Structure 1
Amino acid sequence: MATIDRILFGDNQFFGVNHMSEEKARQQLVKFKDTSAIIEVLDDAYDMGIRTFMCTTHDRIGEICDHMRAHRDRYKDFVYFPCMPYAHKYANSVSQVGVMETIQRFAAGGVMNTLIRGAVGTLTRDIYALMRLLVDAEMKRFEGLNTPVIFVQNVVTDMLLGLKLYPVFTEFDRYVKERYGAEAGYITMNLPLLLDALAQAGVENPIVCANINKIGFRMSGGVDAYRDLLRTRKCRAIAMSVLASGAIPPEEAIEWACGLEGLQSIVFGASSRGNIRQTQELIHGFWGR
């Protein structure tokens, strides 16, 4: 069973994601246009004792992985939690070059050779094969790095929930365990529905990540439902968007989250050493070290 730290570091700020302010998102894109600026912030977090980087599979993450591999002694305790797929990357590619060219561009190993030999039909017949293809393609950039948990992004998790394709959760759980020695994680905007689905899929004590904040920002089902299920359901829950993209003052937001029975971890993003330190100290203060 994977060990999950109480404090995890996220990457939204590096790639211009802010759900409240387009202007702030634009400013962050400019600030982190060079990968060296991202690495500087990751170094600050690492030097403060934050060891886990929960990251999308954005193209520039590959540059960060290259840097970590080139300085293994410096980052020997660094842990990645990849979150896949990075949907914008695939959507943009499909619109530019089409579905088959996109598959060829991102597929790992000999997948395209198999398709060229006449197995294209498997993409429509076997959703499991497509899932494995995408996982392998995304994991190529993390080769040789410590990835004990691999997450499905909420855009896919919630699509599968809507289509009631719960067996895909079972297969993803099995595949990342057998292929990568990792545990599966699931990001969602609807935690109550996800936990019901994972129970039906036979996924026990799942690792789940969802928006969890005092004002119910992007929490399908509402604050009370989340509070109840965290207290009564067996899962390893990670809270993201605790500050509701800046709508809640940090101290108020973190005090509330740390008071939730059953919450295991908090993931947050920050753009500077001072903001990292402030958030870390608030979590330590309300949760203990």
Structure 2
Amino acid sequence: MTHIAVLGSTNMDLIAYVAKAPQRGETVTGREFRTLPGGKGANQAVAAARAGADNVSMIGAVGADAFGTQLRSTLEHSGVDTDLLRTVDTAATGTAHIVVDDEGGNAIIVIPGANGTLTALAPGDEGLIASADTLLLQLEIPVEGVLAAAQAARRHGVRTILTPAPAQPLPPELLAATDLLVPNEHEAAALTGITEPRAAAKALLAQVPEVVVTLGARGSLYAARGAEPVLVEAPQVTAVDTTGAGDTFVGTLAVALAEGRSVPKALAWASTAAALSVQRPGAAASMPYRSEIDTAANGAAS
């Protein structure tokens, strides 16, 4: 039985599709607009549930508004337990304003809203974390709340996977309570001041025992103390929308590791899931189910 707990953000993604993203002071005409569920926490929860985790639990906050109702419904429809997704009356549901260009690249502005109330654990949160195999964390909620959850996981021997996004300085106490850090190459550079991924990963190992640096279409780089880094290539596909690809990767990776797969096999499986997601629009809406990941992975291996 695999139980993944997620403490993090739930946002409604407001997505504009354009040929080329506007520069400062420029107005462009878009070709499409979509309103889709998102938020790094919710995205990772949906990814883990669709990847086949036996139990996925979401700890977070939404506003008492239509977006909040829709986000809760989306999570539940994906098989995520929302008993500890609280509704707050003091703030609106978080939103992410996203511009996606014709090359699949994106630029995002996040307005935290209710996510900003997650500054500490609430009753029931630590018990849920203690019951999980893995806790997934990101940085779209206040770092105080992330730290409280990571330290609770450490007290109960629960594996903690932290996605350091949006990139920001990390408290030493948070890194000390992190088992696996999963930055992309830009976040790794922001955290270390080192642009070369292998060197950045090596520098991060001074603070955490394991690191996976995601490299987009080039795959992912795994590094652990006392071992040589391992590069796992990603499937080559044509990207339509890269929004949520990193969260797909992390949620799927958490399931693979909880199931006891070796790190190279877990990374390859997670990369397959991320490759499937970028071929579809949206974040949570683009995430593949386990049967799709297995079919694609088996096809690549044959």
Q: Same fold by TM-score, threshold 0.5 exceeded? A: no
**Higher relative strand content:** 2
TMscore range, shorter length = 0.3 to 0.5
**Higher relative helix content:** 1
Give the TM-score normalised by the residue count of structure 1.
Answer: 0.38
